[in-house]
Amino acid sequence: MDEERGGEGALVSDNGETERTPEQVRAEIEQTRQELGETVEALAAKTDIKGQARQAVNDARATVDEKVAEVKHSVGGTAESLTASGRRATPRTVSEAGIQASRFIRENRPAVIAVGALTLGILIGRRRRSRG
């Protein structure tokens, strides 16, 4: 016989060329069919305009949903922070408000006197204009 068996079941002829077995040919055909099927699917997807539009809408919707969630989280944290600081700054009773006001006046006496004098001057000026 002019041929002898090579590695992996292939036949090797006298001139050194490898010949494929029927099993190898079938495996190559099956591999080619799979690749061809994948190629056809990819081409079909590229020509499916409605499908591409749907996918673009779904992607955009997902992006918007993510951004909305981020903003809600960000604003929620800010709102909670502002509410807490507002509660700390707001007096609980009228007497507490009076105490806060008197403390503010003591700590800012020159500014309070200046604002009072300015207000008094404006009121006197308006009263003179209305009479005269």
pLDDT of the residue at 13: 59
Q: How far apart are CA 42 and CA 48, in angstroms?
A: 10
Q: DSSP 3-state assignment of 1? A: coil
**In this model, does residue 46 exceed pLDDT 50?**
yes
Q: Which of 85 and 47 is assigned the larger pLDDT?
A: 47
Beta strands in 6-73 (DSSP E): 11-12, 18-19
Whether 18 contacts 10, CB under 8 Å: yes
**In this model, does residue 4 exceed pLDDT 80?**
no
**In this model, does residue 29 exceed pLDDT 60?**
yes
pLDDT bin (cut points 50, 70, 90) of residue 10 is: low
**In this model, does residue 1 exceed pLDDT 50?**
no
